[in-house]
Amino acid sequence: MKAVVYREPYSVAIDEVDRPTIQHPNDVVVRVTSTAICGSDLHMYEGRTAAEPGIVFGHENLGIVEELGSGVTSLNRGDRVVMPFNVACGFCKNCLAGNTGFCLTVNPGFAGGAYGYVAMGPYSGGQAEYLRVPFADFNCLKLPNDGSHEADFVLLADIFPTGYHGCELAQVSPGESVVVYGAGPVGLMAAYSAMLRGAARVFCVDRIPERLAKAEQIGAIPIDFSKGDPVEMIKDQTDGEGTDKGVDAVGYQAQVGDASKEEPAIVLNSVIQTVRPTGRIGVPGLYVPSDPGGVDEHAKQGMLRVAIGKMFEKGQVMGTGQCNVKRYNRQLRDMIIAGRAKPSFVVSHELSLSDAPDAYRKFDQRVEGYTKVVLHP
């Protein structure tokens, strides 16, 4: 079958790889109909992780069940399903507590597994024609079989729940003001989720005009940090107090205002400065324990200069960590079906799998208009 295979930094190719098979009675094989390129994939694409050549990318996957293991009980051939990027067992201590992003079963020696991602277990990615799904009864979320909402439903695998998770970590409540740093796909989903949760005002900070325009389109207040200090711009609009809550949807590859260099802690420190005393901060943006391309020796070891003293002084609370997609995806699916949510506004391009190498290049270079790319094998 055809799949998107990592070759070397800044290079992926469409290669022929072995089609997955049933390896355990609880497996299914899914024919992929939609899969998306994630900002997290770009970290591997750029060589900023320990990803080895040959890995098949793709952790945002939707498709049709074609083969079932003998132990699968809740699924049938022909079912349309979306898979959380978290591969989880459903029965370990963390899964039973709802922390499925930190499953203790699927990746021995490490808390958590994922499709097509470095260090996240032996699970091939879904930027391919077929995908093996382990513990399928637990990991597959059924969707209407009518083919509806394809571009909305594929976002349930990662970015819609992850944006919502950022708001959950920050405990965004009705009537509050919220700042979201980053207007990429996850940032836009965080801003959108904040409004779904009843936030009165949502500020969205970025420097790319197309992304800021999408933020404004959904009712957020765009803040262009290339034109000045976003902390001061937001405080000017909140009577000097700052926002009630904040979300960092950028992560460790954050850049200074003119994009001339990376400053990995700049967003964390800006959120701390922007959120008022006793406010809460959610960090779904990715931070890693090692970064081969880090700006200095500390950054290469995942150690950043964060203003923890200021955070302590202000009495703020910060929540971090990978999203537990299954905690949110069922309710978000039902909101899509009911017409109360349409996250696909963030999708900028729907392309064939063969277009993936060019799409990666353009997405990585922030070519105009490239916000979220969905591939169709």
* Rounded Cα gap, residues 93 and 125, in angstroms: 26
Contact 145, 79 (CB under 8 A): yes
Confidence of residue 252 (pLDDT cuts 50, 70, 90): confident
Show the tokens assigned to 167: 């708001």
Bridging pattern class, strands 2-8 and 11-16: antiparallel
Amino acid identity of 342?
Answer: K
C-alpha angle 242/245/246, rounded to 5°?
90
Which pLDDT band, with edges at 50, 70 and 90, does 185 fall under? very high
Q: Rg (Cα) of the chain, in Å, rounded?
A: 20
- Alpha-carbon distances, residue 90 vs 24, 135, 140, 325, 332 (angstroms): 16, 8, 12, 13, 20
**Phi/psi at 188 (5° precision):** -65, -40
pLDDT at 258 over 80: no
Using the predicted structure, report yes or no on whether residue 224 has a pLDDT greater than 90: yes
- Going by DSSP bridges, is the β-strand pair 61-68/28-37 parallel, antiparallel, or unpaired? antiparallel
In our burial notation (b when 16+ CB lie closer than 10 A, e otherwise), range 286-309 reads bbbeebeebeeeebeeeebeebee
Q: What confidence category does residue 239 fall into, taking pLDDT thresholds of 50, 70 and 90?
A: very high
